Amino acid sequence: MIELTPLEAGCAALAVIWFGACVGSFLNVCIYRIPRDESVVHPRSHCPACNRLIAWYDNIPLVSWWALRARCRHCRARISPRYILIEALTAILFLWIWLRFGLSAETLVYWLVTGGLILGTFVDFEHLILPDRVTLGGIVAGLACGALVPALHGQTVWWQGLLQAGLGAAFGAGLLGAVRGIGSWIFRKEAMGLGDVKLMGAIGAFFGWPGVLFTLVLSSFAGSLAGISLILAGRQQWQGRIPYGPYLALGALVWMLGGAAWWEAYLAWLTSAG
């Protein structure tokens, strides 16, 4: 990890925030276009209401939404707060990762993971699908990163990192696939989408089997809590329309940002207790 002076660290933090916001702006394009089978690079960004192209000064992350008062300059159609939410969320998470892992290969990998999880989360919330670009693409990227950065899995040799990534992907997809099969048999209907199974495979490729177990436990708890809250709030109409992918993404993010340390502390406690 490269050491920086306080001034350099401050400038780097601002650069990371801006970079994260720009990535978030691109993720907004992907979230809107990918479920509609549209290209994410052509045409240029445009208002979905009037189709007018958006000028560069109306497309500045974290600025233009406020400057335009959340309305298109031309037709005055409302701009969803989701746009600035994703820009801010991506910027915050990118900064958090950089502060935790510094200027390192792991940081670049975790930025990639974060972008994929945000993309999958918001597509799943709106369309109840997880794009293969996130799930299958995540498995391929996880395998590649395991070989290129074996330290992700506590290894030093490329083939050992690749092996651990492959085992993690198989364990993640296999475990959630078994849960899906058992749940479908019990409830006599599809318990979860196949996209969730593929997403867990991608999580396993990046974080290994411990990350899979942690993600499964935390996502199940968070999903159950959300479902119970909706029922208590009298919103039974949402039953069956609560996607599981966002909770898997939450579990993976928590693991990445500190869950691994909690897991190691727990294992150390078990060892000392035994």
Give me the residue spans of the domains in the chain: 1-103, 104-251
Using pLDDT thresholds of 50, 70 and 90, give the confidence band for residue 46: confident
Query: What is the DSSP-derived secondary structure letter of residue 56?
Result: G
pLDDT tens figures, 133-148: 999 999 999 999 999 9
**Over residues 151-165, mean pLDDT:** 96
Q: Which residues pair with 71 in a beta bridge?
A: 78
**Over residues 13-25, mean pLDDT:** 96
- The pLDDT value given to residue 163: 97
Q: List the structure tokens of 65.
A: 């939404």
For the chain, give percent helix, strand, coil, nearest 5.
75, 0, 25
- Given a cut of 90, whether residue 273 has pLDDT beyond it is no
Using pLDDT thresholds of 50, 70 and 90, give the confidence band for residue 228: confident
Which residues make Cβ contacts (< 8 Å) with residue 23, sequence separation at least 6? 90, 94, 111, 115
Q: Give the mean pLDDT of the chain.
A: 90
**Over residues 193-219, mean pLDDT:** 95
- Given a cut of 60, whether residue 237 has pLDDT beyond it is no
